[in-house]
Amino acid sequence: MPMADKTAQCTWEGDLAHGSGIVTGGAFGELAVNWHSRAEGGEDQTSPEELVAAAHASCFAMALSNGLSQAGSLPERITVSAKVTLDRVDGNPTVTTSHLDVTGEVAGIDQAAFEQAAQDAGRDCPISRALGGVQISVEARLED
């Protein structure tokens, strides 16, 4: 039996360049999507890549928190930003990278231990594993 099944739905109307859609999920409600926001940098609506970035940042934060806690270092705060890149590969739009930038307040560990825990979390979080063909990089800084 799976640990969880989560669902979302998208209803799209029109062609790619001029159409738009609504993505609906249980916790986040309704979010508007369109090609302009996705490929041309429009910030007025969300995109699949922004949703992947949100999923990757939150999954990574949970994985890092768990790894640090299991190693005996309870984190006070972890802040993660994810930058997911959409580029062309063989002429097709493709998610190519996800760069995770993390800072943490964790008593009792040094920078090297924090970086190692972050690298482990970047490799092991479920969303990282789901993005198997995507180059994932992690930059980690321990706060004083």
pLDDT at 39: 81
Listed residue (67, 47, 66, 64) closest to 100, CA to CA: 64
Q: Which fold has domain 49-142?
A: GMP Synthetase; Chain A, domain 3 (3.30.300)
Measured distance CA(48)–CA(57) in Å, rounded: 14
Which helix (H) or strand (E) is 83 found in, with range? Answer: strand 75-89
Q: Domain coordinates of the chain in residue numbers?
A: 8-39, 49-142
Cα 36 off chain centre by = 21
What residues in the chain have per-residue pLDDT under 70? none
pLDDT at 31: 94
pLDDT at 8: 92
pLDDT at 56: 97
pTM of the entire structure? 0.91
Measured distance CA(123)–CA(60) in Å, rounded: 9
Residue with tokens 């959409």: 86
Task: For residue 37, report the phi and psi dihedrals to the nearest 5 degrees.
Answer: -65, -30
pLDDT at 45: 86
pLDDT at 15: 94
